[in-house]
């Protein structure tokens, strides 16, 4: 169990907004994670949808696409370990669609306490922009 907690802490620290949080705050966030099991090709996020989750990718790979006049255009890939979905939290809307392109059998999504996470992300963004 301790090893699992350390793994989750490492994943959370990959997110710039959480990097400098103390261990107690990270433990609270880790307690809000909900594990998702997604098959290859599953749509994780739809472009323009309302945003309320930040995703931590423990295994697998996802690809982000945006709609253009010519159809869907790939704009990025995240390979585990990594995170995605933070821009949607800042903007309240999803800016791209994200599909799992490898089996993401151990993906994690912060959804149980999403309001707390949104506030933490936005507060961190304000602090960062004020310090520049």
Q: pLDDT confidence of 53, banded at 50, 70, 90?
A: confident
Tell me the CA end-to-end span of the chain in Å, nearest whole number: 40
106: pLDDT strictly greater than 50? no
Q: What's the maximum distance between 2 C-alpha atoms anywhere in the chain?
A: 49
Residue 107 to residue 129: CA distance in whole angstroms: 30
**Total domain count for the chain?**
1
Q: Containing domain of residue 85, as a range? A: 2-130
pLDDT score, position 105: 44
- Tell me the per-residue pLDDT of 14-50, one tens digit each, with 9 for 90 and over: 888 888 888 888 888 888 787 777 777 888 888 988 8
Which residues is 8 bridged to in the sheet? Answer: none
The bridge status of strand 104-110 relative to strand 33-38 is: antiparallel
Does the pTM surpass 0.95? The reply is no
Q: What is the Rg, in whole angstroms, of the alpha carbon atoms belonging to the chain?
A: 15
């Amino acid at each position: 169990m301790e090893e699992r907690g350390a793994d989750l802490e490492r994943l959370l620290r990959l997110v710039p907004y959480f990097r400098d949080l103390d261990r107690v705050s990270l433990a609270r966030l880790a307690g809000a994670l909900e594990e998702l099991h997604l098959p290859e090709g599953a749509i994780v996020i739809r472009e323009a949808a309302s945003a309320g989750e930040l995703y931590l990718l423990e295994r697998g790979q996802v690809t982000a696409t945006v709609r253009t006049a010519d159809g869907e255009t790939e704009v990025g890939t995240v390979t585990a370990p990594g995170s995605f979905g933070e821009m949607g939290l800042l903007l309240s809307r999803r800016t791209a669609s994200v599909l799992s392109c490898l089996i993401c059998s151990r993906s994690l999504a912060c959804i149980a306490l999403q309001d707390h996470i949104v506030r933490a992300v936005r507060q961190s963004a304000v602090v960062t922009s004020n310090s520049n």
